């Protein structure tokens, strides 16, 4: 269909950005429950050895107890938890070491720094923006965007704040979408419009948003326009135009039907019933009959018939 279609995604640019940005890899970690139990037992053993070393004045036992306590402390600071639909991004002195997506109590290198990233589905509504459509008419438009993080490494390292990034890019994409299509095409049926072709417009919005969000490791699940209207300063004028177009279309349909009815009526008078009792009219009377019948059928208000009690010529 016609209209200002959105440009195709720049796949070469996206591929270059994806190569430059880190990609999510699995982190090295272990289940924390066995280590928790082992650490608890080691803490009890270290406490017992320490007390025994004090009672027996045994330096070896005291040293072993202190070493055991240090190991327990290291194990304790190595624990972290991962919630369902959450990822823990690990870095080691600024170097990305992987993302742990396994929920539960986990244990890893105590020198790792962990940042939790939610993988849950999120949504937000863009602010209602005033922008000119493809034909220069000011309109107000807003959209709802449903998204989620699919690559935690890009979300953390490719952009500064991925949540703000998605919201800002969504606002920009909605504005660009509004400038690419006319609000309404009126009598032009081959033009894609914002109000008449919502499925196609929403699909193009989703494509452009995904192109913008891929750098942040985000997947756009849904994008659709929720608020669309002419700006207040031209809304009344455009409403009158729409009403006028609707009236013209309705009158055209009425006249088309009236012509068919008059044609059938004239033919029925000429043919009669079973070829008998026909009423044949000359050209002038046929024109008068058709004019009167068209007036009755196509009139906006009830007609008042005039009864002729004389002859047809009077």
Q: How many CB atoms lie within 10 A of CB 208?
A: 23
Nearest to 105, CA basis, from 71, 78, 85: 78
Whole-number pLDDT of residue 39: 93
Domains and CATH numbers, the chain: 23-116 (no CATH), 121-230 (3.30.479.30), 238-298 (no CATH)
**pLDDT value at residue 273:** 63
Q: How far apart are CA 160 and CA 164, in angstroms?
A: 9
* Paired residues of 141 in beta bridges: 129, 228
List per-residue pLDDT tens for the chain, 314 residues long.
Answer: 444 544 444 555 555 555 566 889 999 999 999 999 999 999 999 999 999 888 888 888 899 999 999 999 999 999 999 999 999 999 999 899 999 999 999 999 999 999 999 999 999 999 998 898 888 888 899 999 999 999 999 999 999 999 999 999 999 999 999 999 988 876 666 788 888 888 999 999 999 999 999 999 999 999 999 988 888 776 566 666 666 666 666 777 777 777 787 777 777 777 766 656 677 766 777 777 777 777 776 666 666 666 555 555 54
The answer to whether residues 155 and 162 touch, using CB atoms and an 8 Å cutoff, is yes
Closest C-alpha among 80, 81, 78, 125 to residue 104: 81
Q: What pLDDT, on a 0 to 100 scale, did the predictor assign at position 2?
A: 45
Q: Are 162 and 89 in contact (CB under 8 A)?
A: no
Q: What is the pLDDT of residue 299?
A: 66
What pLDDT, on a 0 to 100 scale, did the predictor assign at position 1? 43
């Amino acid at each position: 269909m016609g209209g200002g279609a959105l440009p195709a995604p720049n796949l070469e640019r996206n591929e270059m950005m994806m190569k430059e940005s880190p990609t999510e890899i699995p982190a090295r970690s272990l289940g924390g429950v066995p280590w928790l139990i082992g650490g608890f037992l080691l803490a009890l053993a270290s406490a017992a050895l320490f007390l025994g070393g004090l009672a027996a004045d045994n330096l070896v036992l005291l040293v072993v107890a202190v070493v055991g306590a240090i190991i327990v402390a290291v194990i304790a600071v190595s624990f972290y938890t991962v919630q369902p639909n959450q990822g823990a991004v690990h870095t080691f002195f600024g170097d990305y070491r992987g993302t742990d997506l396994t929920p539960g109590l986990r244990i890893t290198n105590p020198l790792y720094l962990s940042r939790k990233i939610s993988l849950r589905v999120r949504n937000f509504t863009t602010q209602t923006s005033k922008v000119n459509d493809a034909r220069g008419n000011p309109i107000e438009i807003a959209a709802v965007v449903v998204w989620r993080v699919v690559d935690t490494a890009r979300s953390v390292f490719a952009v500064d704040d991925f949540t703000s990034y998605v919201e800002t890019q969504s606002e920009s994409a909605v504005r660009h979408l509004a400038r690419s299509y006319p609000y309404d095409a009126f009598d032009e049926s081959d033009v894609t419009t914002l109000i008449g072709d919502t499925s196609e417009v929403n699909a193009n919005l989703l494509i452009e948003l995904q192109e913008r969000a891929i750098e942040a490791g985000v997947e756009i699940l849904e994008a659709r326009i929720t608020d669309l209207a002419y700006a207040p300063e031209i809304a009344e004028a455009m409403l009158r135009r729409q009403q006028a177009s609707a009236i013209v279309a309705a009158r055209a349909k009425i006249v088309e039907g009236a012509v068919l009815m008059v044609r059938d009526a004239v033919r029925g008078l000429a043919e009669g019933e079973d070829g008998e009792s026909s009423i044949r009219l000359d050209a002038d009377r046929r024109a008068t009959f058709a004019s009167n019948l068209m007036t009755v059928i196509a009139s906006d208000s009830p007609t008042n018939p005039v009864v002729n009690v004389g002859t047809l010529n009077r």
